[in-house]
Amino acid sequence: MNARVKVNEDLFELAAGTDLDWLKRVFLAALRDAPAFVAFRTAGGAEVSVLIAPSTPVVLEENEDPLIDFAPVELLDWNDDSMTWGYE
């Protein structure tokens, strides 16, 4: 299963076998420290840098995961629709 990330209008494929739980933890950590940048390299070698800056403050308790739901269609959708997550 290849993961994909859409940043604005650009769609990037992540390497097959990407640990989505690890990726999820990275983004949750970024949300706790927002605003923060998350950067990673895709399967095609493209470097992606994403600014995590929610329009409203995010307060997460330990082990709380209210914003990211790894469902088959869209995993994360910001209010401004600048970034959506999904996997195939």
User: In the prediction, which pLDDT does 80 show?
Assistant: 39
Residues 6+ apart with CB under 8 A from 29: none
- pLDDT for 17-66, tens place per residue? 666 666 667 676 766 666 666 766 666 666 666 676 665 555 555 555 44
Instruction: Check if the beta carbon of residue 18 is closer than 8 Å to that of residue 4.
Output: no
Tell me the average pLDDT across 11-21: 61
pTM summary value: 0.38
Element (H, E) at 25: helix 20-32
The number of angstroms, rounded, from the C-alpha of 65 to the middle of its chain's C-alpha atoms is 13
Q: Hey, is 51 helix, strand or coil?
A: strand
Q: Give how far Cα 80 sits from Cα of 10, 15, 42, Å.
A: 15, 27, 24
